[in-house]
Amino acid sequence: MLFHNEIVAGQKIPFKDLALEMNMSVTPVIQALKFLEFQGLVRREPNKGYFIEPLTLEEVNEIYHFRELLEVSLIAQTIKKLDDSGIAKLQLCHDNYSESLAGVFINKKLITDMEFHLMIARLSGEKIRYKSLKNTFDLLHLKYKTSLQYVTSEKSNDKDHQHILEAIIARDTETAKKLLSQHINNSRKHACLNLTRMMEEKASMFY
């Protein structure tokens, strides 16, 4: 429900209805909500229930800065361990993203974009940082997907991916780091701009 934005930021989560919809008891639903609370996606208010945490510019900036630190720090190891199999996996992820742009399904575009970045990290062999990055993407997708549309313009994103891939294949570590950092920063600026506009539009509704 979160991924498909059936529940949005600030909304109370109808966990009993959710349990009925999925034909299960409320216990596993509550356990899932506790896990999401640990991840910072939801908050629990005593005697009231669970709510989706609101969006903030500060959190968006922090998440993107953390994502940049993680991704850029893994590039050197990825290039060091890169072989023909790794190159083929990266190329496949890039091709999948490019193909998704011809469609109308936003979720597919977001997932294939994420898979390209996660594959770069995965090939580094650094399991802890890879898992941290995956959790960061989960947070971005679950909490900010529709409200922010944080991915930059599709054509720009596709070209960025292509240039990053070329630098990695060429084993040009510094260029790959620079391109990846610029790419993530552009996404961060785009996300913050969209969130600011969304907040302004919401505020104007009360005047």
17-33 pLDDT, tens per residue? Answer: 777 877 888 888 788 88
Quote the tokens at residue 83: 């072989």
Task: Give the per-residue pLDDT at 93.
Answer: 97
Cα distances from 196 to residues 106, 123, 203, in angstroms, run 22, 36, 11
Enumerate the β-bridge partners of residue 44.
50
**pTM (two decimals):** 0.78
Q: CB 12: neighbour CB atoms within 10 A?
A: 13
Rounded to 10 deg, the angle between the 84-100 and 154-169 helix axes is: 170
Largest CA distance in the chain: 60
The segments of the chain whose pLDDT lies below 50 read 3-4, 150-151
Domains of the chain, each with CATH number or no CATH: 15-52 (no CATH), 57-204 (1.20.120.530)
- The rounded distance, in Å, linking the Cα atoms of 166 and 62 is 29
Quote the tokens at residue 109: 């575009």
Task: Give the per-residue pLDDT at 3.
Answer: 47
